[in-house]
Structure 1
Amino acid sequence: MSSTFPDDDDTVTTTARPAPSATPVLLPDPPAPRPGHRTSTDVALVATFAAFVAACALVPAIPTGSGVPITLQTFAVVVAGLVLGARRGFLAVALYLVVGLAGVPVFAEMTGGLGVLGKPSVGYLLAFPFAAAVAGWLGGLALRTRPVWRFPLLVAAGLASSFLVTHPAGVLGLMARLGVGVREAVAIDAVYWPGDVVKNLLAAGVTLAVLRAFPDVRPGRRSRP
């Protein structure tokens, strides 16, 4: 029996097999925040912004002849709404009001207690939570637009909350507490308009800066270009 072997000069050809294709590894989505964690975060943010409104109210005010000084309260109210959104912005400013009406001196000129309801500023104070809610709702619409439009639309959202909610309520409070007519009350209220425009410009800028640094502060919103 004979065996046949390849000669030394014969070439043995080896065919390489293709390497098996790598299967992509799919990473799981990050876990959604637990309801309890989200609730505790909301409570912390509401308390923080209530303190922020109080701090702005205690900045030395500019007195006016009407008994309603010019303060940074409206600035803080708009920022709370724009940053937190309608619901949490409302709750933050409402908490501020409750604390002040309970007697803690967190209102302008370090006042507090139910006695402030008899002052000419009552309309402005009671309107603040609703102004924050309106600013928050309109601000949410503004933040869904292209980046180039966000600043002017946030300014518009703040101005809308001021001139559709805060100022009309303030005029009613002036009429009720000072015993003046509509024209006189509007003339008194007009003193605060230029300052509110400036404060809303600042509020829009602060809001964009905060959301750029903490993009998940607003629920359902992630960082965008």
Structure 2
Amino acid sequence: MRIVHQYGISLLQKVVVISLILLLHCSCISKKNKEMSNIEFVPAEFQKVNVNFSEEENECSPYYGSDSYRINILEINAPEKILIKDLDVAGDTVFFPVCIFSSVSDLRALKFENDKMWVYIKDKDAAGAETILSGLVYEKEVSPDDVLLPSWQDEIERQHKKDVAEAIKLTDKELDNSPYSPERLTINLLDYVDFPVQSGKYEVWVTYCNLKSDKRVVEIIIGNEK
């Protein structure tokens, strides 16, 4: 005797449900591929870049695969061209990758601890006027623990303030005399800057810890733009 629960699902029903799930999944993938096929980068290597605030090195990162770099530098890389065949189809999949490399000494980080990382984009319109848009990439979030410090952390905070006061007195050359470590970051500029995507040529750069990166010129070409 086969006993079936009153609310059980038959084998046929399971097959139908699974088929519908697979159909929807394939439909989403097809839509995603269609959207992504509307966007191309020059160089093509940027097509593979993860722009979800990735701290992993990629082949578009400045100093990719190299351990040779100077202290207290800030450099970026960005595509030469972003080609969008149809902006309406591309939708939310449009992204503007910027790969960032920094090598900031501990002393410089102390002296300019309030100088957070900002990304800038400059556009020249047909009339020749310049418009610079910017966005804060990240800053330290203050939690209740940072405000109400335990007694043993009070001393750490006092020492930190003392170290900052000493670092502020140092020259740029003296700031080089401390340990440092490289940091790599890849972002989607559109996540941080309220930038209307349209055809044109743009300059992009980053500032951090009183350092200014090199500038990259990026051309956006939209096929269906009137």
Structure 1 and Structure 2 fold alike (TM over 0.5): no
Bigger Rg, structure 1 or 2: 1
Q: Which structure ranks higher in relative contact order (CA pairs < 8 Å, sequence separation ≥ 6)?
A: 2
Q: Which has the higher helix share?
A: 1
Q: Which has the higher strand share?
A: 2
Question: Scaled by the length of structure 2, what TM-score is found?
Answer: 0.29
Question: Scaled by the length of structure 1, what TM-score is found?
Answer: 0.29
